[in-house]
Amino acid sequence: MNKNKLRKIPYTKPSITELEVQYATDAAANGWGERCYDYIVRFEESFKAHLGVNYAIATSSCTGALHLGMHALGIGPGDEVIMADTNWIATAAPIVHLGATPVFVDILPDSWCLDPEQVEEAITPKTKAIVAVHLYGNLCDMDALMAIGERHGIPVIEDAAEAVGSTYHGKRAGSMGLFGAFSFHGTKTITTGEGGMFVTNDPDLYEHVLTLSNHGRARGQIKQFWPDMVGFKYKMSNVQAAIGCAQMVRIQDLIDEKRSIFHLYSNALSKLPLDMNPEPSGCVNGYWMPTFVANRNSKFSRDVLLLKLKSQGIDARVFFWPLSTVNGVGRKAFDFPYFSSYAANSALNLPSSFGLSYDEISSISAIVADYFLSIED
């Protein structure tokens, strides 16, 4: 493909069809008064059926869903929450806002998700939760983490913001912990523009979070404008939920396209000195963001490759920075060097927009391959 014919390629964008426009238009025109929650309820029902969980609450963001769930668990000042050092700030922010301290353990070099052995070593009497973030669609070792949580009486929370379409031995990401949280930001596999979802199988936790999510007004409270507790306003709008409902009609096609994009990259880059998103036996990776980490013995420069891609109108993303390097966020559990620091400077997220063509993926892969060839001895 002639590089001069390449359109500008964003690292990601959603798939919006006439169905999403139709549903959103109906919500905007008719979703008021008695119908103001119709699409929200429909979206919650559809999403929980997809996951195979008992309860779902649509929220304004994944961060909001995490905040609600953590607040309901009583996490607060003096407490600690263990999570991986490689993460976006959105996972740590609710912990900090609640007055607790994020404690960062390293990621595994193969999955880029938190290391279960380090998780167990980092547990103290102050530990109140473990957050398992399924990074870029990659899955945490949930059997090991759930066993650790059970041994120590500590709940495991799943941040599945990036893991729609990923399954762990037959169970969908986000459905295994005490609660799960999802993101429907415009960059995600399914989108509502902005938005999230809280999911759980625990009826008491569900009722608590449901109350918190609506300014503390309990379901069934007949006294008008009476809050039963101080809550939050993290609700999703009916128009956003309408878009989500349309996305759910198409969800398997969207997951399949993400997986197809990844496999085109994987095949094209298979002979280069790098590792891409893994898919362990018994698991399915939703491949939200095709990512590679360059081998340690290469002379890879993330910034040089970013510039080469940008010069051709191609956007790529850096790997998440270690949160332990951000002032005031939390602390490392251990003093030794983390793999997270290496990965942050030696990895890239490749474009995975819906509608990305075979020729475009081939062109992007060729630029990556040519760069690696240029740095060989």
What Rg do the C-alpha atoms of the chain give, in angstroms? 21
| CATH T-level fold of 18-249 | Aspartate Aminotransferase; domain 2 (3.40.640)
Residue among 78, 90, 122, 77 nearest 104 (CA)? 122
Domain 252-374 has CATH 3.90.1150.10: yes
**C-alpha distances out from residue 42 to 113, 241, 309, 341, Å:** 33, 8, 41, 42
| pTM > 0.85: yes or no | yes
pLDDT on residue 1: 45
Contact (Cβ atoms closer than 8 angstroms) between residue 165 and residue 287 = yes
pLDDT on residue 377: 63
The domains of the chain are located at 18-249, 252-374
pLDDT on residue 220: 87
* Average pLDDT, consecutive stretches of 10 residues, N- to C-terminus, the chain (377 residues): 66 96 98 96 98 98 98 98 97 98 98 98 98 98 98 98 98 98 97 98 98 92 90 96 98 98 98 97 98 95 97 96 94 96 96 96 97 89
In the chain, which ranges are E strands? 55-59, 80-84, 101-105, 127-133, 156-159, 167-168, 171-172, 179-183, 196-200, 274-276, 283-284, 291-294, 317-318, 331-332, 347-349
pLDDT on residue 3: 47
pLDDT on residue 176: 98
The overall longest dimension of the chain from CA atoms, in Å, is 75
**How many angstroms separate the CA atoms of 121 and 130, rounded?**
12
Does the active-site annotation cover 233?
A: no
Of 188, 235, 258, 332, which is the active-site residue?
A: 188
Given CA atoms 64, 70, 74, 75 in this order, what sign does their dihedral have?
negative
